[in-house]
Amino acid sequence: MSMVQQSNLLLAGSGLSGLTLALECARRPYFQDKKIILIDRDDKLRNDRTWCFWAKDDEPLPLVEHKIWKKCQFYGKDVAKILDIAPYRYHMIRGLDFYAWAKTELAKHPNIQRVTANILDIDAENGIIKTDSGDYQGEWIFNSAKFTAAGKTFAVDGAKWTNPEHQASSESLNSTHSFLLQHFKGWIIETPSPAFSPETVTFMDYRLEQHDETRFVYVLPFSKTRALVEFTVFSPALCPPETYEYELRRYLSEVLHIKDFHIEEEEFGVIPMTDLTLSPKGEGRVINIGTAGGFVKASSGYAFLRTQRKIRLFVDAWEKTGTPDPSTLQSSRMFRAFDSIMLRVLRENLVSGKAFFSLLFKKLPAPLVFRFLDEDASWGDILRVLYAPPSWPFFKTALRQIPFLLKL
Ligand SMILES: Cc1cc2nc3c(=O)[nH]c(=O)nc-3n(C[C@H](O)[C@H](O)[C@H](O)COP(=O)(O)OP(=O)(O)OC[C@H]3O[C@@H](n4cnc5c(N)ncnc54)[C@H](O)[C@@H]3O)c2cc1C
């Protein structure tokens, strides 16, 4: 019989949330004598994603190279403006930079081991992860490698899931649950002559045909001649593959008037936007983190900063009490209820994403919207956000969602 390797913390998946948890434990004395094993099938040697988020200057962030912008341009329905985002700034971190830095930091700790292996199964009761190169047992398993939703198990592989097309089914359209996908394709392009304004991010540009969905482009300029341009859709199913390229080319030529460019890098991604309960509390010894633990903000798809914040609070509490408490990883019921209502309004296109975000950024200061999306909002902020879009579709949807909201 093969040996089962023992550990205290066993991490199934070491992408953003797995690495963040391991780093957070690594810097605290309480975990110095705990054996931590991270298992991932991917060595994380590719730049498989680019993380963007807004943050204030006093936010503790990973010590990785950031690109930072102070200005954000918004183009929506009857509105085109530079958002005054102070005291926030818009940040970008390359996935590869984060992975490389995290691996170097973790290698300094002899109690932490990284294993490259394909996870085949998780035995939650006994705390065992079965892989194609042996079995591992832990007191606690932190799972960010797969999640179950709508009766199907998805591998959290970032760019692709086991079967994302499944979401197009009409059953999901009739249910009180929403399961939208945020899917996007982006290119880092280089132009022969100046085409971008390097100090201003285009946060959302809705100057696209919406096709009864939410479609926008964002642009992260690195210089006057180099930028990441990303076409993004919120909808129940993926587009045909050629649509992403068609829309990117059309946007570049018709909106930005860029005819000549060279594609340096390509990114494609799918993020779940759902109010299905992806609970941090798993079965047996499993605690779900990252996308699998519901860390993705259901109504926006943002997860980077939330992951940093949630894991920091969780490990703080664990260090104090001596026990990991998954409930500290969950957002408040009120914000999950707002997300659920918003998703259903979007799913049924009662108010389009374009109209909704245009009204928000037209009527409200951007920092207030950011606080709301970060779940840092005061009651005054919340009331202002609730009154900004047309109230009736949201109120009607809230009433229809009551049976579901009561179960949250
Ligand atoms: C392309 C892309 C761009 C994004 N951009 C942003 C952004 O700009 N801002 C933002 O806030 N959020 C963004 N997100 C959302 C979110 O921040 C990321 O998806 C984030 O990586 C989620 O962290 P995670 O730990 O849940 O998953 P991941 O980082 O994907 O980690 C899961 C890990 O599990 C491993 N795994 C899966 N199955 C197995 C298996 N069977 N065996 C072994 N290992 C396995 C994978 O290899 C992976 O490393 C983006 C997501 C994607 C996909």
Report DSSP letters for 336-366, one per residue: HHHHHHHHHHHHTTSS-HHHHHHHHHHHS-H
Predicted confidence at residue 151, as pLDDT, reads: 56
What is the 390 CA–ligand 1 centroid distance (Å)? 34
Distance CA 218, CA 210 (A): 15
Q: 């946060």: which residue's tokens?
A: 203
Taking the CB of residue 211, how many other CB atoms lie within 10 A of it?
12
Is the model's pLDDT at 157 over the cut of 60?
no
Q: Give, for ligand 1, the residue of 17, 20, 46, 51 to mutate: max count of ligand atoms closer than 8 Å to Cβ.
A: 51
Reported as a single tens digit per residue, the pLDDT across 40-65 is 999 999 999 999 999 999 999 999 98
Predicted confidence at residue 148, as pLDDT, reads: 63
- Percent of the chain past pLDDT 70, that is, above it, reads 92
Confidence of residue 395 (pLDDT cuts 50, 70, 90): confident
What is the 144 CA–ligand 1 centroid distance (Å)? 8
Predicted confidence at residue 155, as pLDDT, reads: 52
Q: Give, for ligand 1, the residue of 14, 23, 37, 40 to mutate: max count of ligand atoms closer than 8 Å to Cβ.
A: 40
Alpha-carbon distances of 345 from 100, 131, 357, rounded to whole Å: 40, 42, 13
Reported as a single tens digit per residue, the pLDDT across 97-145 is 999 999 999 999 999 999 999 999 999 999 999 999 999 999 999 999 9
Residue nearest ligand 1's atom 27 by CA: 15
Alpha-carbon distances of 142 from 27, 41, 158, 291, rounded to whole Å: 18, 15, 17, 12
Distance CA 154, CA 292 (A): 9
Higher pLDDT, 177 or 383: 383
Q: Which residues line ligand 1 (CB under 6 A)?
A: 13-18, 39-42, 49, 51-53, 118-119, 144-146, 155-159, 267, 269, 271, 290-291, 296, 302-304
What is the 308 CA–ligand 1 centroid distance (Å)? 14
Read off the tokens for 255: 């909106």
Mean pLDDT computed over 224-250: 94
Ligand 1 atom having least distance to the Cα of 290: 26
Is the model's pLDDT at 159 over the cut of 60?
no
Read off the tokens for 144: 């960010």
Reported as a single tens digit per residue, the pLDDT across 202-234 is 999 999 999 989 999 999 999 999 999 999 999
What is the 154 CA–ligand 1 centroid distance (Å)? 12
Q: Highest mean pLDDT: which of 17-21, 177-181, 348-352?
A: 17-21
pTM: 0.92
Is the model's pLDDT at 408 over the cut of 80?
no
Read off the tokens for 18: 């797995």
Q: Exposure pattern of 31-43 as b/e (b: 16+ CB <10 Å)?
A: beebbbbbbbbee
Read off the tokens for 207: 């100057």
Read off the tokens for 219: 């642009």
What is the 271 CA–ligand 1 centroid distance (Å)? 9
Read off the tokens for 314: 């969780």
Is the model's pLDDT at 11 over the cut of 90?
yes
Report DSSP letters for 219-246, one per residue: EEEEETTEEEEEEEEEESSPPPHHHHHH
Taking alpha carbons only, the member of 135, 142, 121, 123 closest to residue 286 is 142
Alpha-carbon distances of 299 from 47, 199, 241, 295, 345, rounded to whole Å: 26, 27, 24, 12, 10
271 forms beta bridges with 182
Predicted confidence at residue 176, as pLDDT, reads: 72
Q: Give, for ligand 1, the residue of 10, 37, 38, 41 to mutate: max count of ligand atoms closer than 8 Å to Cβ.
A: 41
Taking alpha carbons only, the member of 230, 329, 354, 243 closest to residue 17 is 329
Distance CA 247, CA 234 (A): 14
Read off the tokens for 208: 């696209």
